[in-house]
Chain A
């Protein structure tokens, strides 16, 4: 069904041209002057990834030049927010480099807001600086274009190629062009997966026309995970999904409102409801509730409890702050710069925050690795600081040789956001060059047989549709195939009802998880029969397959961790309490590519930074 087969050989293949992918593509050229560097993007690199519509803040900047924060401060912060469990080596490494990334953005023309008194970047909060970032993505895309030998737009990468001479070594990737229908084979010495995390695996709150207005972009379809999982790479903390407390329906961001505008939340009676739930939360998580700042999941927990017990709606009190015309402008431009949809919702419902306190909600869960969560691949840390269990030769390399990750792909390194993801791309790119220079990519063999097998697999949904469509008179109901949207809605229903979605107030347990796994297995089998009527639907079919394998991994991890580590993100009803005795560890999974079976294990957490200072601050 493919039109042509196009084979490209390269040294570094970057899959995904978002923040992490542009960072990797840019930096790779500095270290690999003579290497062939190719970046492949599913959409158009000028407006792709989570930052497609812009950002109003860079949420990760140390400000070491002014002594504002040091990398170890960020490690403490991320560890605290994720209830003790992060890869501190990866977090430290990202944090020590992130300032140089931000300084480059400034030089390149990204409008940074400055504090008029100090001349420094305008702080929104301790870690965030404010920008006029409507063109953030086109600017970093330009940097990637200047470094790459070639950038391919509109190609979706579906599978990784494996070397046939040495086990567990990557050999490239394959995919298809959704405009031409051509089959693309990229034979590459190294692959950096910088694709997106997963929206739309749990049923979203809006299921009609507004289904696309999820917090994380609807085009983030979990390729960040599906590609390494299918190649047999180990994954970590995949149970650590994230739920966001945001403005209702538009999921407009609250960071600037809380931190800069100093707005605050209250329940329908005008009470500070978070205090009400302090004792109950303490029962579940112990002293973690006393940490400062309060971990994101625990604030969600109070919100969820309050609305479940009839205290809603919860409002953001904006009426005071918005009397200041400057703050009012900041409040609106905050949306226009990164979540235009929230401005549309407010305009449509006559919500002027100067006169009306807008309503908040908690979102459906998402799986990603760059925000206040850290799902992703288990990767090596940097040589100079990582302990033995965390180091196997090359920074940000997965447990598959030559396969690197950055951004949402990398597990354990939370709170990196846009600047940290770009930085992580830079780190992965340098390590990939080193891997090539040290002759680790010699004599890779990828046979025509392997390529042809993938070709048949990739284009099969087109055939499924053509054959099945002839059986029926018309409409969308076929006994032989299901459409991508039908399959997606089945996936979302399974995850929602059995794995801790909104309909069950994020609750799950061993029994529902096991049922979920059974249903996911049947979905996986049925997706052999997904039907695509054109190349656009073929993309949707492969997005769905990537979401499904990601969901299986998330469910396996959720089943393995027998505690509720992050109340407010999800609850194990059969183990409602946080259990540091048994679960102060990271979870690892590996899916056997031959059998499709997952095996689970625990990995140790290393705390590299003392917390004396933090404790003193809190008390």
Chain B
């Protein structure tokens, strides 16, 4: 598939241009609206479809193997923390799905490490990472194996 943009819905805001991982959504300089400049580099990841505030972007299955008449539409609602899908088959069958996208208010529970507790003296020389060993939830130290258990070149 590849993405395409509906003329009457696109207002040229550029959200899709900003997000596309493949850099294929560009603003057409004549009509001042977005378009897919390289459909054969589209991964159908739907990043642009999800990002479009006007629902102006849709997907038509790749011409070389997808018969026409289908659609897979999406609405991602960050404030509600959900993503909703509607799949329409060529023969008219419809399936709907809703999934959560986050369990917490957006970004609030991600620490800013510059303000968090500093590592203890000498910890840079240990093997532990941030939040360890506590963050492993094992009430134990970080696991290790003895170097002597290495056996060179043996078939196992």
Contacts and interface: CB of A to CB of B under 8 A. Distances in A.
Nearest to B92: A350
B51 to A, nearest CB: 8
B151 A100 contact: no
Interface string A342-385: 01111111101000000000000000000000000000001111
B102 to A, nearest CB: 4
Contact of B127 (A329, A352, A384): A384
Given A79-B156, A606-B151, A384 B97 contact: no
A426 B144 contact: no
A350 B89 contact: yes
Contact of B1 (A341, A427, A605): A341
Given A100-B136, A143-B110, A608-B149, A332 B95 contact: yes
Contact of B144 (A47, A96, A332, A349): A96
Given A92-B145, A134-B76, A347 B70 contact: yes
Determine the main DSSP class of B at the interface with A: loop
Contacts, number: 282
B150 A606 contact: yes
A31 B118 CA distance: 8
Contact of B147 (A29, A385, A433): A385
Contacts of B68: 348
Interface centre among A104, A147, A329, A340 (most CB of B within 10 A): A340
B56 interface: no
B154 interface: yes
Interface string B14-41: 0000111111001000000000010111
Contacts of A79: 156
B16 to A, nearest CB: 11
Contacts of A352: 89, 93
A611 interface: yes
B63 to A, nearest CB: 5
A64 to B, nearest CB: 5
A344 B70 contact: yes
A259 interface: no
Contact of B83 (A48, A71, A134, A139): A134
Contacts of A99: 135-138
A30 interface: yes
Contact of B39 (A70, A146, A212, A343): A212
Contacts of B150: 89, 387, 606-608
Contacts of B61: 344-345, 347-348
Interface residues of A, number: 100
B130 to A, nearest CB: 4
Contact of A65 (B19, B108, B127, B136): B136
B101 A347 contact: no
Interface string A66-77: 000011100000
Contacts of B69: 348
Contacts of A185: none
Interface stretch (A105-113, A186-194, A223-231, A232-240): A105-113
A289 interface: no
Contacts of A383: 127
Contacts of A210: 1, 40, 62-66
Given A84-B156, A206-B65, A584-B155, A30 B119 contact: yes
B43 A217 contact: yes
B93 to A, nearest CB: 6
A420 to B, nearest CB: 13
A99 B19 CA distance: 30
B113 A154 contact: no
Contact of B135 (A49, A104, A386): A104
A47 B147 CA distance: 40
B75 to A, nearest CB: 12
Given A110-B102, A347-B72, A347-B90, A606 B62 contact: no
B139 to A, nearest CB: 9
Nearest to A96: B143
A146 B113 contact: yes
A65 B69 CA distance: 49
A139 B40 contact: no
B110 A385 contact: no
Given A143-B110, A212-B42, A606-B151, A64 B145 contact: no
A600 B97 CA distance: 52
A585 interface: yes
A27 interface: yes
A607 B156 contact: yes
A134 B90 contact: no
B72 A343 contact: yes
B80 interface: no
A100 B90 contact: no
Interface string A325-338: 00001001100110
A29 B154 CA distance: 41
B129 A97 contact: yes
Given A146-B110, A210-B65, A218-B22, 19 more contacts: A29-B114, A30-B113, A52-B21, A64-B137, A70-B143, A100-B132, A111-B103, A135-B102, A178-B23, A212-B43, A217-B21, A249-B62, A332-B95, A336-B83, A347-B88, A348-B67, A430-B129, A539-B23, A580-B155
Closest 9 CB pairs of A and B: A210-B62, A109-B104, A208-B64, A53-B45, A100-B135, A348-B66, A65-B137, A347-B70, A341-B44
Interface of A: 26-27, 29-31, 33, 43-44, 46-49, 52-53, 64-65, 70-72, 79, 84, 89, 92-93, 96-97, 99-100, 103-104, 107-111, 132, 134-135, 139, 142-143, 146-147, 154, 178, 206-214, 217-219, 249, 329, 332-333, 336-337, 340-341, 343-350, 352, 382-387, 423, 426-427, 430, 433-434, 437, 536, 539, 580, 584-585, 604-611
Interface of B: 1-2, 18-23, 26, 37, 39-47, 59, 61-72, 74, 76, 83, 85, 87-91, 93, 95, 97, 99-114, 116, 118-119, 124-125, 127, 129-132, 135-138, 142-145, 147, 149-156
10 contacts: A71-B143, A100-B136, A147-B114, A212-B44, A213-B1, A219-B21, A332-B97, A341-B44, A434-B124, A606-B152
